[in-house]
Amino acid sequence: MQQPDISRGSPDRGSEPIDDAASSEVLAMIGWDESRIAEFESHAESGLEPGRVSRVDGRSVQLITETGIVRAESSTELQRSAETSEELSSVGDWVGFRRRPSHDSDVIEVVLARRSQLTRTRQVMKSAAERQVVAANLDAVFVVHAANNLNLRRLEREATQVASSGAEAVIVLNKSDLVDDVQDLLDEVQISVPFVNVHAVSGVSGEGVDALISYSRPNRTVAFIGASGVGKSTLTNRMLGHELMETGEVRDDDQRGRHTTTARHLIPVPGGGALIDTPGMRSLGLHGADEGVAVIFDDITELASECKFNDCSHSGEPGCAVMDAIFRGDISEDRLGSFRKLSREMEFVQSKSDVRLRHAKRDMLKARTKRGRQMMKARRKFGRSG
């Protein structure tokens, strides 16, 4: 079955043709299931067609449809009704769009409910931040780190954010061929994230990649996240079975690759399923990650429920079940330190988000007041002229 090539955007609005035998099945291959069909029924009756966002280029997005790849943009109504940018379509979203043969692009009129969404914190002003959707409707997210340059604290933060997305977090230690004792490294990571699957792989040799392919099945979507140079594009090529993504040279001084991916995009996987490759991110700031903390630090949150005081800070209060576990050696002080740090970071990010929301509501009220005054002025003028 011929796969639609969506690795690069199309400059025109026309559909890139897909083999007729594949056209009716292409959406099912990347997750269009019975529940989505039922959810879309009313939209289909109004003349909309389903599509999945494979790439976002500013206001224009690229959609995989039953007839090929098309360009589309959000309708004016959809843009007006969206209170934040995260409510507009992102990579991985299922949307309903309407054909506009006489225009340069089709129009998206509805974004279907997301089953999961991976987000990051984006700074919008010095004292405020907002949530940005990295990818939507994911089943598993591979948190990729270079085995020869591991940052455990960043790994914990990224795994926490993924766990909050509704997708399964999977730790991938790439470049395992550059490490002398892989098992020691696996054990170290498993101590930091004991409730997450960890895999050591080599994108160069292909060792261990089969374990990652097992996560990508028909109707499932997986994504790679990680810093620049950890080998996400190389792993993507391995999973796809051919060289689709451009990869960079490896530096001699630290054996790290150079950043190559410049945009998030969704790619159908041979045999079914979809894969989303993302550019390297310096950080994946926590936003609404309470559920993720509960998953990644399940041992601490479970013990915390047994503390004598509900607001126990786990720093010396009597009857603290967490500190008792540390004294027994069941939990390390480093793990508790990571838990505290992530909790503080969440509180800080939330405080900045609240500031942004207050500013947004203030601006909205100002705009409404201005429109109201203009309408009253127009009515008075009309009344005098009548």
Q: Could you report the per-residue pLDDT of 266-300, keeping only the tens digit for each?
A: 999 988 899 998 876 555 555 555 666 666 777 88
What is the maximum alpha-carbon separation in the chain?
Answer: 89
DSSP 3-state of 296? helix
Residue 378: which pLDDT band, with cuts at 50, 70 and 90? Answer: low
pLDDT of res. 255: 44
d(CA 313, CA 322): 9
- Burial tier of 294 (Cβ tally within 10 Å: 0-12, 13-18, 19+): middle
d(CA 64, CA 55): 9
Strands of the chain (E only): list them. 49-57, 60-65, 68-74, 94-98, 106-111, 117-125, 128-136, 140-146, 168-174, 197-200, 221-225, 265-268, 274-277
Q: Could you report the per-residue pLDDT of 95-147, keeping only the tens digit for each?
A: 999 999 988 899 999 999 999 999 876 544 444 456 788 899 999 999 999 99
pLDDT of res. 186: 95
68-74 and 197-200: which strand pairing? unpaired
Residue 315: which pLDDT band, with cuts at 50, 70 and 90? Answer: confident
Residue 20: which pLDDT band, with cuts at 50, 70 and 90? Answer: very low
d(CA 362, CA 317): 42
pLDDT higher than 90, residue 191 = no
Q: What is the DSSP letter of 48?
A: -
Residues whose CB is less than 8 angstroms from the CB of residue 187 and which lie 6 or more positions away in sequence, other chains included:
none
Q: Could you report the per-residue pLDDT of 209-253, keeping only the tens digit for each?
A: 999 999 988 889 999 998 888 999 899 999 988 776 555 455 444
pLDDT of res. 88: 86
Distances from the Cα of 348 to the Cαs of 120, 121, 127, 134, 163, in angstroms?
Answer: 14, 11, 10, 21, 19
DSSP 3-state of 79? helix
pLDDT of res. 2: 41
Tell me how many degrees the CA angle 103-105-107 measures, rounded to the nearest 5: 100
CB 336 within 8 A of CB 322: yes
**Residue found by looking up tokens 């490490």 in the block:** 179
pLDDT higher than 60, residue 160 = yes
DSSP per-residue string spanning 145-211 = EETTS--HHHHHHHHHHHHHHTSEEEEEEE-GGG-S-HHHHHHHHHHHSTTSEEEE--TTT-TTHHH
pLDDT of res. 17: 39
- Residue 251 is encoded by which pair of tokens? 């530096």
Distances from the Cα of 378 to the Cαs of 39, 287, 314, 372, 385, in angstroms?
Answer: 44, 44, 63, 10, 11
Tell me how many degrees the CA angle 238-244-246 measures, rounded to the nearest 5: 95
pLDDT of res. 116: 94
